[in-house]
Amino acid sequence: MRQLADQLGLTFHELTLYQEAFTHSSYVNENRPTVRQDNERLEFLGDAVLELAVSEFLFKKFRAYSEGEMTKLRAAIVCEPSLVKYAEKLQFGAFIMLGKGEEMTGGRTRPALLADVFESFVGALYLDQGLGAVQTFLERHVFPLIDEAEKLRTTDYKSRLQEFTQHHGLGSIEYRIADERGPAHDREFIAEVYIDDKLFGTGFGRSKKESEQQAAAEALGKLNVEL
């Protein structure tokens, strides 16, 4: 834990909290009664602390965003794939205490396990040093990645089209795959998007989802929505 603290540029006051944060249930099961507590309780706490810290950050940084927009961006920041990315970046996997069986089956790199460990670490840091320390930690290691998440959000043309049509009462949206062409290994899909049964956009892509996104982008252009 001292090595981890040095790596993160932190000082851990109560080491047992962080040891608990990196203790998987499989390790507890194989080391009873010497070890009794895994990281699940800290994970529960860390999940709530992380949501609060990210919410406060978004509230202050994106002052023009609506509640719905902030909710979507927060979801992108605290979803499991994002938590895994943070844990991998910080090399948390190397510090997890696992049972032999979990170790042999690749638990150290298992996404769900890494996401849980990140949340439990946040819970431990909160109990050890308070919300301010959590905010500082996130500002250093997580919040710089938010711009990347924001770019992903803004290129979700289907969601933006859905929001625009609902806000302006333009009617229901329907996507149709108009055609598929090319061999199976090099397939191209052509999608059309209809709003209130009127064709508004056509898109091409290597997958149905990609073609639908392109169709939505064309529809947004016709509706004079800035991309």
Catalytic residues: 47, 119
CB-CB contact of 221 with 208 (8 Å): no
Question: Over the range 153-171, which residues count as b (16 or more CB within 10 Å of their CB) and which as e?
Answer: eeeebbebbebbbeeeeee
Beta bridge partners of 175: 193
- From 46, 45, 72, select the one nearest 58 (Cα to Cα): 72
Rounded-to-integer distance, Cα 204 and Cα 206, Å: 7
Contacts of 61 (CB under 8 A, 6+ apart): 146
Residue carrying structure tokens 């290691």: 141
Contacts of 109 (CB under 8 A, 6+ apart): 93
